Structure 1
Amino acid sequence: MSQHSNTTQSFFQGVGRNFDKAAKFTKFSSGILEQIKACNSILRVRFPVKIGDNVEVIEAYRVQHSHHKLPCKGGIRFSMEVDQDEVMALASLMTYKCAIVNVPFGGAKGGVKIDTKKYTEYELEKITRRYTTELVKKNFIGPGTDVPAPDYGTSAREMSWIVDTYTTLNPNDINAQACVTGKPVSQGGVRGRTEATGLGVFFGVREACKNEEDMQRLGLTTGVEGKKVIVQGLGNVGYHAAKYFEEGGSILVGLIEYEGAIYNESGLDLEEVVAHRKSTGSILNFPGATNIEDPSKGLEYPCDILIPAALESVINGFNADRIQAQIIGEAANGPLTPDADEIFNRKGKLVIPDIYLNAGGVTVSYFEWLKNLSHVRYGRLEKRFSENMFAEILNIIESMTNQKVSKLERKIILRGPDEVDLVYSGLEDTMIGSYQEIHQIWKNTEGVEDLRTAAFICAINKVGESYKELGIFP
């Protein structure tokens, strides 16, 4: 619980507080709202695993927050911070997240309370497979019931163990591959899944920066080009977000990791910092950068955009006043406490909420799930057709104009979409459309003071409609 210990509320209560704030702006009866808010099913298991010569009893969870749409969907984290409250909070955020980006899943989350550094790969595999067996026994995993994914402390490796265990226990399930997403591509994964959340963060912030009125109010120009960015966390999400901001023309002025932070107002080269960390074991003492010993202080340095992509509650009532960024993009789950939100609202800063901004992962997970159910790789059916059609059109244009295009131009024009092109384009379309939807609610609903409340309203409306159609609520 240490991540949320500096707040008076539990993480799940904090999510509930945001929910209640938004629920006032919706038209649903208290019964429907109560149902949306509640966690439908909670599985808590303890199972023995032989580690070396000893037997260890492992504590693990899987929470299905909402069954308004099936399957349920959400990552599995391996961390000593895992407890029931955290898993419930993250599962509920998944429900709202899926609704906002129009992905037809209910929210779920899993957690195994272990310190991954203490185990060998073989031991982690034993724990993962045993956890999967528990989920199968209790019907908490399956292509149509509950589809996990990687999260903090897990990766494609763990997902491959899960899909293998599930397939072994369900040998006749033709869709067994779809029981989990975030798998290696060789096992039915989708290209583009690894960078999906970080890329989604970039697409979301870029879309926010296009709004002239909002940028003017913050005293900024439109677009991400030239904007100074600080990223906290160089894990999968933070690294890819930083990479796309750098490629998009932003200046990466600060990077924060658990060992400390570095800052250079004229910009840091991401790949060089990563290489430096690989060789020295730390981002500190990077040539040309200022060392910041206390990582939390790194959040307070001057920048335009701050991307917390690490842990919960890192920006709270104690330090929010000192944050200099005008735009805070929540790449992690719950990096701001409700107190921090209130301070930022008072100051007129723009907070792009986690339940929208880090939904890139679940969006691409949805594409992977569809791929597994359809048993065909994206692009396989149309790539060659598109290339042949483009060639026909190009030949007609060349013969009509008596002009030849260069080899390079021809190559660019004739390229049909690969799987990764289609995944990126689907993700970009989702992030743009969803941002505009919540932005509209924010601007057009009297009394809604921030994007987070607007995002929750958007989610409650969509989930509420599903329940209303069930006919069990007045």
Structure 2
Amino acid sequence: MLNTKEVNKQSMSTTVMNQFNKTADLIDLNPNIRKILGITNNEIVVHFPVKMDNGEVEIFTGYRVQHNNALGPYKGGLRYHDTVDMDAAKALAMWMTWKTSLAGLPYGGAKGGIKIDPRKYSDSELERITRRFTYALGENIGPEHDIPAPDVNTNAQTMAWIADTYMSTISTSERSHNQHVVTGKPVGSGGLEGRDRATGFGVYLSIKLLLETKGENLRDKKFIVQGFGNVGYWASHFISKEGGKLIAVQDAHATLFDENGIDPEALAQHCEPRKGSIKGFSDAVEISAEDFFDLDCDIVIPAALGNQITADNAFKIKASIVAEGANGPTDNNGEQILLKNGVTILPDIFCNSGGVIGSYLEWLQNRNGEMWQLEEVMAKIEKKITENFHKIHSEVKQRNIDWRTAAFILAISRIETAYKQRGIFP
């Protein structure tokens, strides 16, 4: 099952710093800019009390790390998970900086969340926890300063609570201009049509575009998905629509397998009343978690937590493509094994960027008072991802390097250019 051991937290930070330093060396990054990008701008920790349904008070710890805002406001998700801590938030915030830069968006990078297992709390408790967290963050978030979004175990409802709380704590005259303090809201509360599927769609599209460069398509391609939340489901949905065959799914509770294919729609219906758990799905057999990455398939989609593909299991992977739906799912040691074995890794900062591109469109929609239909939104996301794919592919071919290195070069070079043009205050 998913690996959530404490030991992985430090390696997550190590992974992102190794990637950064490797790229900085390759492009001979300006040493002063290297110092700036190697650290975070702000690291915020808040402890706040919340009254539970039984009348008792619990103290929660929340985090928000703002890595860099050279290109625009900080942007990044809030996750509710018991692995959330400062180290994880710092790593994820840095990845967001690279992701928004690579996507060509006017954003920087941030990340955060609450150290909590949301399954242990009622909906009313989660609402109070979310609202109190928002209040504790105060002016550390804002529509032109730091714009949170959904992440692991948070969703459109979470964002609606944050937006309402934020707007309720500012002056009346400003409320109508601050709806875009978060993205990923329900459509009826200023959200974007298609934002729910944007990340998974990006994963699917990145795989499709890669296959096209080889003269192939998704028909009859066997794929496995780790994590069946929003990203895992929508990626499976779009790939299956084009003839791909989902043969295995893994989450924290079970590992399912069916060589004839698992119907993602049926599995999603099974998960809905079970708080997302795939366990007990009758149309597939449950297998050992250790056998998941060893399955014979064409594509692996890690779409859960970080540091899942390591030296302990990377050598088992038989697929030719690993498409990173999650942030940081492959550590440095695992990556070296995959590359040595000829596996193409579509890196997280590109592969799952459909979500932040969708977030940008929602932010613009709220900011400008516009409304876009689903078809328009998906066309805009597809256009942006396709353009970015070809830029990375060109870098891969010209430099004869792997996809992650190419993506990092493009992302960091854009930020370096911004610093060189603007200078450093004072």
One-letter amino acid of the counterpart of residue 335, structure 2: D
**1:356-387 deviation digits (Å, cap 9, x = unpaired):** 10111100000000000001212xxxxxxxxx
* Superposition map of 1:155-234 within 5 A: 155-170=155-170, 171-173=172-174, 174-212=176-214, 222-234=216-228
One-letter amino acid of the counterpart of residue 18, structure 1: Q
In structure 2, how many angstroms separate the alpha carbons of the residues matched to 1:452 and 1:188? Answer: 34
One-letter amino acid of the counterpart of residue 168, structure 1: S
**1:215-236 deviation digits (Å, cap 9, x = unpaired):** xxxxxx6112221111111111
Aligned to 1:265: 259
* Superposition map of 1:267-286 within 5 A: 267-276=261-270, 282-284=278-280, 286=282
**1:413-465 deviation digits (Å, cap 9, x = unpaired):** xxxxxx1111101111111111111121122125x3x1111111111101111
In structure 2, how many angstroms separate the alpha carbons of the residues matched to 1:142 and 1:226? Answer: 46
Q: Does the 8 A contact of 1:72 with 1:146 survive in 2? A: yes
Larger Rg: 1
Aligned to 2:397: 443
Aligned CA distance change for structure 1 residues 115 and 427 (closer, same or farther; 3 Å): same
Aligned to 1:348: 342
In structure 2, how many angstroms separate the alpha carbons of the residues matched to 1:8 and 1:145? Answer: 28
The equivalent position to 1:307 in structure 2, one of 288, 296, 301, is 301
* Superposition map of 1:39-188 within 5 A: 39-51=40-52, 52-136=54-138, 139-170=139-170, 171-173=172-174, 174-188=176-190
Q: Does the 8 A contact of 2:233 with 2:268 survive in 1? A: no
Aligned length: 419
Aligned to 1:467: 419
Q: Does the 8 A contact of 1:12 with 1:88 survive in 2? A: yes
RMSD after superposition: 2.0
One-letter amino acid of the counterpart of residue 286, structure 2: N
1:291 matched to 2:286? The reply is: yes
What's the CA shift for 1:131?
Answer: 1.0
Aligned CA distance change for structure 1 residues 168 and 436 (closer, same or farther; 3 Å): same
In structure 2, how many angstroms separate the alpha carbons of the residues matched to 1:235 and 1:276? Answer: 12
What's the CA shift for 1:262?
Answer: 2.3
DSSP-derived class of the 1:472 partner: coil
What's the CA shift for 1:115?
Answer: 1.7
In structure 2, how many angstroms separate the alpha carbons of the residues matched to 1:128 and 1:5? Answer: 25
Aligned to 2:386: 432
One-letter amino acid of the counterpart of residue 366, structure 1: Y
One-letter amino acid of the counterpart of residue 370, structure 1: L
Q: Does the 8 A contact of 1:232 with 1:299 survive in 2? A: no
Aligned to 2:24: 23
What's the CA shift for 1:472?
Answer: 2.5
The sequence identity of aligned pairs, in percent, is 39
One-letter amino acid of the counterpart of residue 144, structure 1: E
DSSP-derived class of the 1:317 partner: coil
In structure 2, how many angstroms separate the alpha carbons of the residues matched to 1:101 and 1:153? Answer: 24
TM-score, scaled relative to structure 2: 0.94
One-letter amino acid of the counterpart of residue 126, structure 1: R
In structure 2, how many angstroms separate the alpha carbons of the residues matched to 1:286 and 1:298? Answer: 18
Q: Unaligned regions of 5+ residues in structure 1, if any? A: 213-220, 379-418
The equivalent position to 2:241 in structure 1, one of 224, 238, 247, is 247
Aligned to 1:12: 13
